Amino acid sequence: MQLHELTRPEGLKDRKRVGRGNGSGTGSTAGRGHKGQKARSGGGVRRGFEGGTMPYNRRIPKRGFFNKFAKKVCEINVRYLNQFENGEVVELDKLLAAGLCHANDDMVKFFGQFDLGSKALTVKAHKFTKGAKESIEKAGGKAEEIELDK
């Protein structure tokens, strides 16, 4: 294959080059129309700007309180521990890999009551409800609380 035999892949087009003379079809105003804020160099408005009208997000009433210091808690039912092998140590990275919690969660809490049979798991999490702790220990496992990272 020679360089002059190469062809352009099907469906691929050149980008539109604006402001390159009237013969190109996009000369003169380069597709920006005549005058106005959007025709100017550096012109345009920020996202959410409504032309000076009071913006929608400021017009609607606000209710309640948003705590910016709140911790995101991933709550997991004990029955989901059934998917792990007997004798396994269930830590945060394994819960993440199993899709039971997300990386942006601050802490993990187990709740609920479930008969795990004879699956003796060592579960390491930030919090356990009384019922969850009993369910894990009844199966012969351990529920270990870990410290919350600051």
Protein fold of 73-145: Ribosomal Protein L15; Chain: K; domain 2 (3.100.10)
Q: Where are the domains of the chain?
A: 73-145
Residue 125 CB-density burial (10 A; 0-12 exposed, 13-18 middle, 19+ buried): buried
Give residue-wise pLDDT tens across range 90-128. Answer: 999 999 999 999 999 999 999 999 998 888 999 999 999
Could you tell me which residues come within 8 angstroms of residue 22 by beta carbon, excluding any fewer than 6 positions away?
A: 28
Give residue-wise pLDDT tens across range 29-85. Answer: 998 999 999 999 999 999 989 999 999 999 999 999 989 999 999 999 999 999 999
Q: Which DSSP symbol is given to 31? A: T
pTM, to two decimals: 0.59
Which structure tokens are listed for 89?
């140590």
